[in-house]
Amino acid sequence: MCGTTWLDGAITVNRAPWPVLTMDWIDGRTLNEYVDYLVTGSNAAALTTLAAKWRELVARLQSSEFVHGDLQHGNVMVDQAGRIRLVDFDGVWIPQLAGHSPPTEFGHANYQHPARHAWDRWLDTFSALVIYLSLVALSRDPGLWLALYNSKNLLFAKGDFFPPFKTDAWKQLAALGDPQVDELVRRLQECCDPDWVSNKSLEMTLDQQAVTPARAPIPVEQRWWEKQPSGAVGPAAGAASASRPWAQGPPQAAPMAAATAAARAETSRIATGPLPAPPPLSAPLSVAGTGPMPQLSQTMAPPGATTWWSVPGSAGAQGSRPGSAGYAPTPPVPQGYAPRGPVPPMPGPPVPGPPAPAPRPRVQSSPLAGGIALGLGIVLLIIGAATGGPVIVIGGLVAGAWGIWRLVTGTSKSTKPPQ
């Protein structure tokens, strides 16, 4: 946490005293700038470490009953020691504040649940999951940054949190074909349910599979965002329940718990690794990694582009997905994407093209008009000075100035083509 000091009545606004919260100065970069720095250097290992450190930090916060209230890229920094630091405590919740009125802001819309904003101990779970999934996905494919980052997010935007989850963000993540990313995607989509209530920590949300056995996939016509009202009971409800048996028999609690413990231990091990120091605030943006990324621009698909999952039967839909037959990634193309560079021409004899058009003669104005205008201006200035007419003087100045301009810029007509 960034060190803070509360000062009562430190500033007066409209003749009323207001408190001020001062914070320690941190020489570092915000999370989005730091991620951009790592992506620019294609440092996937550091992104993996960053994701693990983020998960460890959230676990420590939530076990301490401390809620930040606005976890987003601008309120998370990485300092010169490679430590994650939190700033901006406008929405903090601690047990001593329970029962008080909530703050007037509910955090960044690209990181908060679209429907529920309960100001309590578990408010950070949703935004922490959004950040964690983003960091894990970027560690698998840093090229996602170019396709989804817009300076106001990491990978997700507010519009991505609504079913049926057909936006570019979900499509790009599905294209990775990574089991851990797929599991985190499923968790986040479950949390986007309008009826979802944040009542547990991030760790408990991620470990939910250890206590909740997996069922068979729900048919398309029974997806949760199109489900019938929960009050429906009777034989039909019983038949529907009976038609969805366990996917793999009785729950295997012990193996799943062991796998969860092993995954948590691996995350803790990775989190102990160091993070590279970000460029200091004095460094220009080009050094900080916030500029263009030419090593990705030729291989990434822009948002909305036709991709293998959007056109069934297309050439990109066959043999390009990771794990499918014929898939052979060629570095440095990021996994899950197809190169968008120009297609080189086939070798062969040159094909004669149409004859080049004859050059058009350049017609330029003559300085004659400039000389006439200059002479007219001089005459008008003389007349105006003799008669004392300001209008005539102004007209003479305008005519003379225009005439001089034409004399300077004008040349004689030439029909000679340019060399």
Residue 188: exposure state from Cβ atoms within 10 A (0-12, 13-18, ≥19): buried
The share of the chain scoring above pLDDT 90, in percent, equals 43
Q: What is the pLDDT of residues 62-87, one digit of tens each?
A: 999 999 999 999 999 999 999 999 99
Section 215-243 average pLDDT: 42
The identity of residue 233, as a single letter, is V
The answer to whether 76 touches 84, Cβ cutoff 8 Å, is yes
Q: Pick 248 or 24 by higher pLDDT.
A: 24
pTM: 0.60
pLDDT at 17 over 70: yes
Q: In the prediction, which pLDDT does 37 show? A: 95
Q: In the prediction, which pLDDT does 357 show? A: 54
- pLDDT category at 412 given cuts 50, 70, 90 is very low
3-state helix, strand and coil shares in percent for the chain, rounded to the nearest 5: 40, 10, 50
Q: In the prediction, which pLDDT does 374 show? A: 80
**DSSP-assigned letters across all residues of 202-254:** HHHHHTGGGTSPPBPPPPGGG-GGGPPPTT--SHHHHHHHHTS-BBTBS--HH
User: Are 259 and 377 contained in the same domain?
Assistant: no
Q: In the prediction, which pLDDT does 251 show? A: 44
- H or E element, residue 30: strand 28-30
pLDDT at 332 over 80: no
List the structure tokens of 267.
Answer: 């995350």
User: Are 263 and 398 contained in the same domain?
Assistant: no
- pLDDT category at 349 given cuts 50, 70, 90 is low
Assigned domain for 97 exists: yes
Assigned domain for 280 exists: no
Q: In the prediction, which pLDDT does 157 show? A: 97
pLDDT at 10 over 50: yes
Q: In the prediction, which pLDDT does 250 show? A: 42
pLDDT at 359 over 60: no
User: Are 258 and 379 contained in the same domain?
Assistant: no
Whole-angstrom Cα distance, residue 87 to residue 65?
17
The share of the chain scoring above pLDDT 70, in percent, equals 65
Q: In the prediction, which pLDDT does 414 show? A: 42
List the structure tokens of 162.
Answer: 């609504």
255-258, long-range: CB within 8 Å, 24+ apart, which pairs?
256/209, 256/210, 257/210
Assigned domain for 79 exists: yes
Q: What is the pLDDT of residues 234-245, one digit of tens each?
A: 444 443 333 333
Instruction: Tell me the residue length of the chain.
Output: 419
Number of domains the chain contains = 2
- Residue 250's CB is within 10 A of a number of other CB atoms, namely 7
Assigned domain for 396 exists: yes
Assigned domain for 338 exists: no
Q: In the prediction, which pLDDT does 73 show? A: 97
Task: Output the average pLDDT for the chain.
Answer: 75
- Find the range with the poorest average confidence among 48-62, 112-126, 298-312: 298-312
Q: In the prediction, which pLDDT does 92 show? A: 92
List the structure tokens of 362.
Answer: 């350049």
- H or E element, residue 387: helix 368-387
Assigned domain for 344 exists: no
Assigned domain for 362 exists: no
Q: What is the pLDDT of residues 253-279, one digit of tens each?
A: 555 566 667 777 888 888 889 999 998
Assigned domain for 118 exists: yes
The answer to whether 90 touches 101, Cβ cutoff 8 Å, is no
User: Are 173 and 30 contained in the same domain?
Assistant: yes
The identity of residue 126, as a single letter, is F
**DSSP-assigned letters across all residues of 341-364:** SPPPPPPSSPPP-PPPPPPPPPP-
Q: In the beta sheet, which residues pair with residue 247?
A: 249
Section 169-180 average pLDDT: 96
Q: What is the pLDDT of residues 186-204, one digit of tens each?
A: 999 999 999 899 999 999 9
Query: Number of helices (H) and strands (E), helices first, in the chain?
Result: 13, 5
Residue 377: which of 410, 401, 408 has the closest Cα?
401
Cα 372–chain centre separation: 63
User: Are 121 and 264 contained in the same domain?
Assistant: yes
Range of the domain at 380: 368-409
Residue 167's domain is classified under what CATH number? 1.10.510.10
- pLDDT category at 108 given cuts 50, 70, 90 is very high
- Find the range with the poorest average confidence among 40-44, 55-59, 165-169, 343-347: 343-347
